[in-house]
């Protein structure tokens, strides 16, 4: 019994508590506040409600205010005319599950179905899909992070307890006015028919909101849709990292040091590190490398790793994807001959069968002589994919947008080059291929475009 309780504790902690904690404290993978100068965002949960939502829409129209409605699918299904009116009047419609139930007590597949069903209802009424999602009570679970590829999780910066009627309109008004600031994402409710809410509470919300909107007009503040606030915030924050990302980078770089120490990685150019390597035995499936050469389990390989710190520095200092690609090409062109010389001078390294790494590149490495193959599906491939997506979102000049636009292309793959090919192409006796790639700028341009299209900054040999 004690063992069962302990397992339940662990599952609850990692499935629910820790994800909820890091989203609230660090804002990890959620949007909860903008950086506006004159704009704030009104958001409304739990509707639509046939009594209060029409009155709210009238009030917003009177003040030319736009809002975001996170609707409960079952309520939307019963009142399509209100969803249609929200859409026609220029408001953003988001998802709040089909029923108002906590994600902590639902399996990942159930949550996914709740989101999809609500999105289908919205689409059937408005003709548009929604990618904006607010989980009930703002409670996320571990698997909500993975759904960020399909939906954008929206929380809030200001919550007022307006679902309780006893708060009263006067106290609620004071609370609203105290948080009437640019960049705020305000959470209110236009329906009192969900668990824990009072049916008449939205009446107080409408009274308080009227006063706040009048004050906002006096101050020249405007309520905008969440998607507009996200776009404005991303533009204002270009080139800057949030505290959450800086924390992630710090943890990532600490792991880099620990990994290098534990596995005794060596560096190709210690004074200017870009590639690290180690000799180990291959443990994967058999791979045909061409010309009758086969890599099989137990063969010795030189495993290649990028330097995390250098990768991060290049990513955040590059002005564009093309510039980042070109800079990485230059480093690779310089490091491969140095690596070939190191391997050629070591009998142990030279006895290895292949140079090996794992990358998100789909095209491009072939230009350097690598063979790119699919990574066998399984736990390793899935965990690698999650790791590299997080890495890309941090170091890529437009990593977050790349994840949305090209999620299907961001698949880690195996990169291989027979050691004999490495020594023949980049060793001192035969430097021709390298010299040619450095001298001809048009080839560099072609390669930079190829690698940029293939999300070069997502490249990383897996630790």
Say how far apart CA 11 and CA 56 lie, in whole Å.
41
Say how far apart CA 394 and CA 85 lie, in whole Å.
39
The helix, strand and coil proportions of the chain, stated in percent and rounded to the nearest 5, come to 55, 15, 30
Say how far apart CA 7 and CA 292 lie, in whole Å.
50
Domains of the chain, each with CATH number or no CATH = 2-236 (3.20.20.370), 243-458 (no CATH)
463 in catalytic set: no
Choose, from 79, 96, 100, 189, the residue flagged as catalytic: 189
| Structure tokens that stand for 395 in this block | 């170091």
For residues 288 and 412, which has the higher predicted lDDT (pLDDT)?
A: 288
**Bridge-partner residues for 293, per DSSP?**
290
pLDDT tens-place string over residues 69-91: 999 999 999 999 999 999 999 99
The whole-model pTM stands at 0.53
Burial class (CB in 10 A: 0-12, 13-18, 19+), 400: middle
Alpha-carbon distances, residue 359 vs 95, 132, 374, 375 (angstroms):
35, 30, 10, 9
CB within 8 Å of 83: residues ≥ 6 apart? 48, 71, 76, 93, 121, 122, 125, 126
pLDDT tens-place string over residues 333-388: 889 999 999 999 999 999 999 999 887 655 567 888 888 887 776 666 666 666 66
| Structure tokens that stand for 53 in this block | 């939502």
Average model confidence (pLDDT) across the chain: 79
pLDDT tens-place string over residues 127-147: 999 999 999 988 776 555 554
What is residue 415's three-state secondary structure? strand
189 in catalytic set: yes
pLDDT tens-place string over residues 262-321: 889 999 998 788 899 999 999 888 888 887 889 999 999 999 988 877 777 776 666 666
Lowest mean pLDDT among 170-174, 320-324, 334-338, 396-400: 396-400
**Can you give the pLDDT at residue 63?**
97
Q: Length of the chain in residues, anyone?
A: 463
Q: Which of 126, 123, 102, 125 is nearest to 114 (CA)?
A: 102
**Backbone φ, ψ for residue 254 (5° rounding):** -65, -40
Choose, from 39, 45, 144, 444, the residue flagged as catalytic: 45
**Can you give the pLDDT at residue 263?**
85
Residue with tokens 């080839």: 443
**Backbone φ, ψ for residue 158 (5° rounding):** -140, 125
| Structure tokens that stand for 16 in this block | 């629910």
**Can you give the pLDDT at residue 442?**
38
CB 204 within 8 A of CB 172: yes
Lowest mean pLDDT among 6-20, 193-207, 379-393, 420-434: 6-20
């Amino acid at each position: 019994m004690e063992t069962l309780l302990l397992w339940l504790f662990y599952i609850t902690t990692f499935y629910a508590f820790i994800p909820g904690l890091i989203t609230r404290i660090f804002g990890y993978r959620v949007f909860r506040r903008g950086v506006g100068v004159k704009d704030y965002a009104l958001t409304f949960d739990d509707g639509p409600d046939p009594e209060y939502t029409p009155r709210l829409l009238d009030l917003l129209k009177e003040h030319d205010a736009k809002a975001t409605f996170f609707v409960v699918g079952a309520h939307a299904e019963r009142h399509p005319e209100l969803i249609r009116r929200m859409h026609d009047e220029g408001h953003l419609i988001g998802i709040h599950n089909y029923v108002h139930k906590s994600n902590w007590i639902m399996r990942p597949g159930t949550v996914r179905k709740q989101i999809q069903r609500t999105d289908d209802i919205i689409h059937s009424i408005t003709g548009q899909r929604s990618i904006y999602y607010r989980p009930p009570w703002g409670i996320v679970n571990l698997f909500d992070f993975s759904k960020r590829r399909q939906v954008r999780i929206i929380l809030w910066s200001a919550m007022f307890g307006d679902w309780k009627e006893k708060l009263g309109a006067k106290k609620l008004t004071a609370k609203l006015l105290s948080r009437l600031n640019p960049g705020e994402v305000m959470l209110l409710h236009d329906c009192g028919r969900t668990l824990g809410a009072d049916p008449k509470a939205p009446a107080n919300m409408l009274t308080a909101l009227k006063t706040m909107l009048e004050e906002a007009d006096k101050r020249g503040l405007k309520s905008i849709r969440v998607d507009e606030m996200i776009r404005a915030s991303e533009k204002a924050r270009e080139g800057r990292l949030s505290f959450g990302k800086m924390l992630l980078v710090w943890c990532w770089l600490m792991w880099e040091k620990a990994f290098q120490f534990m596995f005794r990685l060596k560096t190709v150019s210690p004074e200017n590190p870009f590639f690290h390597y180690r000799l180990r035995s291959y443990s994967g499936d058999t791979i045909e490398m061409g010309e009758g050469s086969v890599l099989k389990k137990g063969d010795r390989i030189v495993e290649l790793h990028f330097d995390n710190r250098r990768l991060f520095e290049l990513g955040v200092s590059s002005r564009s994807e093309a510039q980042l690609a070109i800079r990485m090409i230059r480093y690779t062109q310089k490091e491969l001959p140095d690596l070939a010389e190191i391997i050629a001078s070591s009998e142990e390294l030279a006895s290895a069968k292949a140079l090996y790494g794992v990358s998100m590149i789909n095209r491009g490495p072939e230009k350097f002589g690598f063979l790119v193959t699919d990574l066998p599906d399984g736990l390793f491939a899935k965990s690698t994919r999650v790791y590299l997506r997080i890495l890309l979102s941090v170091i890529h000049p437009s990593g977050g947008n790349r994840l949305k636009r090209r999620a299907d292309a961001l698949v880690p793959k195996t990169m291989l080059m027979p050691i004999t090919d490495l020594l023949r192409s980049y060793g001192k006796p035969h430097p021709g291929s390298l010299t040619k790639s450095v001298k001809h700028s048009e080839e560099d341009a072609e390669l930079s475009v190829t690698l940029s299209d293939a999300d070069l900054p997502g490249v990383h040999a897996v630790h």
